[in-house]
Structures are given as C-alpha cells and as structure tokens.
Structure 1
Amino acid sequence: FCGLKDKQAVTTQWFSLPLPPKHPPHTDPDWFAALPNGVRVVRWAPHRKKIRRGIHQGNRFTLVIHGVTGEDAGFDHRLATLNQHGFPNYFAEQRFGHQGGNYNLLHKIAAIPAEQSASISRADRNWGLSTLRAELFNHCLSQRLAQRSDVLAQVGDLAQLAGSHSRFLVTVEELARTQTRLGEGDVALTGPLWGEGASPAGGDIGLNEAVIAHQIMAQLGRENTPTYWPQHLAAWRVEHDRRLLRAPLSDLQSTWLDVADGRQLQLSFTLDAGAYATALLRELIDLSPDSGKA
C-alpha cells in the first residue's frame, strides 16, 4: 500500500497482494472471505507491479467538524487565501505517535552507541528517522514563519518547481526572478529532511538549518549531545531530502450545516502525498481541548 491512513477515518485506498499466476481473471481471490469486519473490497484488478510506499500523487479528504461555536467574519476570506497560497506544511501530531510516544523511541536509539547502529531494528530505525526529521523540519518551518520568510525567497534557498521534484539553488542572480515565480505559483520554497553531512541549502539558509539540526539532535541525543545522531545518519547512509514549506491544496469546498447539537462544518479538499489535513485545520479553526470551542 502507498501509506498509512488515520486510525479513526473511513478510508479508501489501493493495496497490492500476491495472486497465483493461473488465477481465473473474473473470479474473486480466496482471501476476500478472510477480510475483517469493516473492510470491503470496492474494486480489484490484476497488475504486474506491486504498489510501493509513497508513489501516490495525493489524497482526497472529506472532514466533518461537529459542535462548531462562535462566529468568524474572516473565515471565508481565510479559506480563499489558503486555497490560493497553501498552508504551513507541518508534520502533524500523528507523525510523533500516540501522545508523542515516538520521542521515547528517539531517546532509546540515542542511547545506543553509534558503532552499534546495525543492531537497531529496521522498524525502530525507520520510525526514529521519520520522527527526527519531522521534528527538525517543523522547527525550521516555525522559524521561517516567525520571520515571515516562508514565501520570501533568499539566497541559498532550494526552490522546487511546481508539479515536480526538480529543485534549484537560489543565487543572487536568480533571486528577483525566483520571487516573481513564487508569486505566480511556478515554484515553491523547501525545508530540510535531514540526512548525512551538511545541508544542501546555501548561505544563511543552510547555516540556520545546520544550527537548528545541531540543537534538535542535541536535545534528542545521548547525554544531551548531538554526536550519536550524525553518526547514525552516516552509518545508515541517510540522504538529505526536502519538503515544501507550504502545502498546496485543490478542490477546496466548505459547507455549513445546522444540526440539533449546533453547527457542523464539512470540508472537502485534495492534498499532495505527505501533507496533513490536521495541519490545514489548525489554520482555520481552534481545536484545542481547553478552548471550549471549535
């Protein structure tokens, strides 16, 4: 399958499962009968290739928020702005495990000497790496937002072409043109998914990312030092990657419904693979437990 889905959601996605070579083409596979309650096959078809993680282009969401209280005259305007310019592409709380449990895994890994990196299970390594990189990215994104530079190109930025993963380093000569292309939606700025060695970004951008990486790896490292994490990254040959600072969305629709227990807000939209619907929600409504409102 392409990726994990929300535990509480009703989801539809493709899975790939082995099929005997001579299986009759119009006969349901035997494992249909073994599916658990609540799982239904909508459609199936033979295919030559197995689905790989992360190859899907995006996800379509329909969310219903119950018990909405309060009035917001600027809600529709904010909705239109997000639809046009996207939203901060934070890794949401799901990435960090139930009640932040993945941080415990990071400290567990950090307690293992770097020369014993090979002893860490693949599952722990993958979850640990994804949590570490997400934490680091979120801090870099928060800094850019605080500086109001998430949509302001700087020398040393790595910009990504819209609709592709092609990137280029922003130079002094290209700075003005890149800013124009940002406004046109032709390119977008990226933040770090940390790996082995120095950041591929340049100038002050690369330096700031390196400072944040050092701080985060120290906080989550062994005995409050960053030493082990860079060594683990090197031992596992983890390559640097990038993630958009702002997540684009499309097909955004909103509907207000008056029901017995108050108002409901229904939102429908499409996000690229890897973007979180809850990160969009935080830009629209207050879902904090102590707020007394949604």
Structure 2
Amino acid sequence: MRKLFHLTHSPIECYFRPSVRDFVVREIPLYEANGAGEHLLVLVRKKDLSTFEMVEILSNVLGVRSAQIGYAGLKDKHATTYQYLSIPRSFESKLSACGEVLEKRGIKVLECRAHTNKLRVGHLKGNSFFVRLKKLTPIQAQKAINALEILKASGFANYFGDQRFGRDGQNYHEGEKILENLRTMRDKKIARFLLSAYQSHLFNLWLLERMRLNAMIESCSPKELMSHIKNYGALDSVLRDEGVVRELRAQKQFFKLLHGDVAVHYPYGRAFVIDDVSAESARFAQCQIAPSGALCGKKLISAQGVALEIERAFVDSRLREAGSRRYAWVWVQDVAYTYKPEVAQMEITFSLPKGSYATVFLEALLNKPFG
C-alpha cells in the first residue's frame, strides 16, 4: 500500500538500508526492575534477529518455554536493538552460564535484575532510534533538514510499517484466512500475530482514506471540493455544505477532525468522542490530544456520526480480538542530526511513542516509500 503523507516536497534522494551498523533501536522502559520477585528483567542487545527468533534461541539454550519469556514489543530484525525481556528467576544461573553461547547467536545480556512480574506487550514508553542516511548530497541534506524541522512541529501520520506485514507483505491475508476458517494455526501466538496484522491492514486503509480526505480539504476550495467528493455516504451532504468545509479548512493542523472522531489524550490517556470540533482542534494543535483509528475487536470504542461513516468500512466485526484505538497522528521527539559532507552521510537520532515505526517516520521525511 502506497502511503500518503502531508509534506509535499519532492522525494529526497539518498540510500538507507536497515543494518546493524546503520539502524539502532533502544527500548524506553515503562518501569525499572524493583530488585525482588519471581522474574528477571533482562536487558539484551540483539543483532540481525527478530524478536521471535531471539525468543526461540533463548528457549532452546536455557530450556525455558517460550511462553514464559515476556517482552514489551517486537523489534526490527535488520538492526542492532536493545530491548527488555523477562524470564523466570529460576533460570538466572543458567542465563549467567550461557552468556558466551548466546553472544555467538547474536544476543548479548547487558543487565539482569529481579522483578515482580512478567513483562507484557505494551509495557514500554517508546523507542529511541539512530539511522544513517547515505549518498546524500548537500542539496538533498538541506531538504532533509528543512523537513525534519517541519516534522518536529507538525507530527506525522502513524501508519503501521511494512515490516508489520511480513517479508512478502501478505501476513494480513493469512490473518483474514484464519477468520474465514480457511487456515488453522497450532501456534496460538502466531495466529494472534497474523490476526493483528489484519487489524493493522484495516487501520492503514482507514488512515490512507482519511489522509486523502485531508489533502482534498487542504488543497481544494469549497466549490472544487463539492465537485470531487463522491462515494462518502453521509459525508457527501456534509462536505457539500460550504460552511462546514470552511470550518474544516480553518483547522490549523493537516489532519482535519470530524464530529464523532475518537480522540485520545496524548501521549497516553483516555479516549473520548469529539463533539466540539473547534475546541478539540485547538488542543490537537497543541499536541494535547490526537485522533485515533480503530484496531477492530470486541471492546472497540467506535466513532460516531460523520466519522463513523468512514470508519465502518474498515471494521471487520468477525475479529474477536480485544480491540482498541491507535493514534492516527504522533509527534517525533528528541530529534538531532549531523550531516557529514565529506562522506555524504547524515546521522539522525529521534524517539517515538510505542507502536510507532521509525521506517514510517523516514517515509514521511523522505516523502517516498521506504526501501
């Protein structure tokens, strides 16, 4: 799926391929180990391994069931990544004894402390990143710097990254087959992963639709918009109202809020349905709230009114996962960069909230598909 972003500069030409040298990810923990309990909170560095591959290696080397190994999030394979794991404390001596074996397999144990509970998915604040862009001319580097400064203030669309969908991009198809009883999976963890890929695919389609709508509102006059809007159901009549279109165009941010959108306090907090668009638009511009899209499931807080007219096309009621809302828009933090003209390389560091993809941020920055 070709993503649509809000910056309109011509694509920035450079070379970036994730590798252990040019792509580094560091998990920002939600809490520190408390020094007591039946689990170990372990900080590891892995290279050229997916989180699933790392868990399998630890399971085989330590003799611990993979289900007993906890992690807060999935980390990129083609990178050097630092992340936290939890294992039962009864394996502490085995972990200490197997350090060399693990290091030969690409896993280095950096810290190990007792903790009271198993690490669960989502138990992190976010991630910090280092990327190195190569073959970047001075002119292209200046374009990148200008775009970085804009993105620091504006934020960007929070798509799921392509790696969410597997090497061939087809994981979501497999998830849909499971829903249709066309495929069965013995491994429940893999089955849940494929189903969540299908959730993610639906979210990306919804976000792309909203970004197209935002671009039209941003670039078209009310009269031009009337002639372009088609197949939006209840939105047809709304967006043919010049007064409403002017109100939408008056919103300072690119992503236009609609009545009935579900917003979430940022960077974390409760979800609520937007009633006063003008007031919430002001809070959105101040990074206090952000709109959200559906990760459909049985506990989903649904949009209402006009916003629901778009959302319902991307909700599959067959999904019996928990269901939640995902930020449709996020802000990058701690941005720093250094350009080295003698080697035509730029090094960029930044941090993102949990669940956001560095590769998606790079796509927004470069204004072209990642890869």
Aligned counterpart for 2:136 among listed residues 68, 75, 89:
68
- Structure 1 gap segments, 5+ residues each: 218-229
Give the superposed CA RMSD: 2.8
Query: Could you tell me whether the CA contact under 8 Å between 2:175 and 2:196 is conserved in 1?
Result: no
Aligned counterpart for 1:277 among listed residues 335, 344, 358:
358
Instruction: State the Cα deviation string for residues 121-155 of structure 1 (Å, max 9, x = none).
Output: 41343122211111111111111111217632211
2:112 is paired with a residue whose SS is coil
Change (3 A) 1:33 1:198: closer
Matches within 5 A, 1:88-99: 88-99=157-168
Aligned counterpart for 1:161 among listed residues 265, 271, 296:
265
Larger deviation: 160-169 or 90-99?
160-169
Query: Could you tell me whether the CA contact under 8 Å between 2:206 and 2:293 is conserved in 1?
Result: yes
AA of the residue aligned to 2:352: L
Matched, 1:251 2:312: no
Query: Could you tell me whether the CA contact under 8 Å between 1:200 and 1:240 is conserved in 2?
Result: no
Instruction: State the Cα deviation string for residues 238-262 of structure 1 (Å, max 9, x = none).
Output: 23311111122110111111345xx
Determine the C-alpha separation between the residues in 2 that align with 1:283 and 1:11.
22
Q: How much does 1:39 deviate? A: 2.2
Determine the C-alpha separation between the residues in 1 that align with 2:367 and 2:137.
10
Determine the C-alpha separation between the residues in 2 that align with 1:13 and 1:168.
32
| 1:201 corresponding residue in structure 2 | 303
Determine the C-alpha separation between the residues in 2 that align with 1:132 and 1:109.
10
Q: How much does 1:276 deviate? A: 0.2
AA of the residue aligned to 1:201: A
1:14 is paired with a residue whose SS is strand
Instruction: State the Cα deviation string for residues 204-260 of structure 1 (Å, max 9, x = none).
Output: 2112111233xxx6xxxxxxxxxxxx33x2xxx323311111122110111111345
Query: Could you tell me whether the CA contact under 8 Å between 2:164 and 2:197 is conserved in 1?
Result: yes
Instruction: State the Cα deviation string for residues 73-126 of structure 1 (Å, max 9, x = none).
Output: 54323211211121110101000001213144135325417xx98x76413431
Change (3 A) 1:74 1:259: closer
2:307 is paired with a residue whose SS is helix
Determine the C-alpha separation between the residues in 2 that align with 1:243 and 1:198.
11
Query: Could you tell me whether the CA contact under 8 Å between 2:261 and 2:291 is conserved in 1?
Result: yes
Larger relative contact order (C-alpha < 8 A, sep ≥ 6)?
1
Q: How much does 1:192 deviate? A: 1.1
Determine the C-alpha separation between the residues in 1 that align with 2:124 and 2:205.
27
Query: Could you tell me whether the CA contact under 8 Å between 1:105 and 1:124 is conserved in 2?
Result: no
Change (3 A) 1:50 1:175: same
| 1:227 corresponding residue in structure 2 | none
1:200 is paired with a residue whose SS is coil
Q: Which one has a larger percent strand, Structure 1 or Structure 2?
A: 2
State the TM-score, normalized to the length of structure 1.
0.79
Larger deviation: 41-50 or 62-71?
62-71
Matches within 5 A, 1:128-207: 128-148=194-214, 151-171=255-275, 174-196=276-298, 200-207=302-309
Determine the C-alpha separation between the residues in 1 that align with 2:300 and 2:95.
52
Q: How much does 1:58 deviate? A: 0.5
Aligned counterpart for 1:47 among listed residues 111, 115, 123:
115
Query: Could you tell me whether the CA contact under 8 Å between 2:171 and 2:198 is conserved in 1?
Result: no
Query: Could you tell me whether the CA contact under 8 Å between 1:196 and 1:240 is conserved in 2?
Result: yes
| 1:127 corresponding residue in structure 2 | 193
Query: Could you tell me whether the CA contact under 8 Å between 2:134 and 2:345 is conserved in 1?
Result: yes
Matches within 5 A, 1:259-274: 259-260=342-343, 263-274=344-355
Determine the C-alpha separation between the residues in 1 that align with 2:369 and 2:311.
29
Query: Could you tell me whether the CA contact under 8 Å between 2:72 and 2:119 is conserved in 1?
Result: yes
Runs of 4+ in 1 over 6 A off after TM superposition: none
1:205 is paired with a residue whose SS is helix
Q: How much does 1:198 deviate? A: 7.8
Aligned counterpart for 2:97 among listed residues 30, 38, 43:
30
1:43 is paired with a residue whose SS is strand
Aligned counterpart for 1:80 among listed residues 149, 158, 165:
149
- Structure 2 gap segments, 5+ residues each: 1-70, 218-253
AA of the residue aligned to 1:183: A
Determine the C-alpha separation between the residues in 1 that align with 2:99 and 2:113.
13
Determine the C-alpha separation between the residues in 1 that align with 2:356 and 2:78.
17
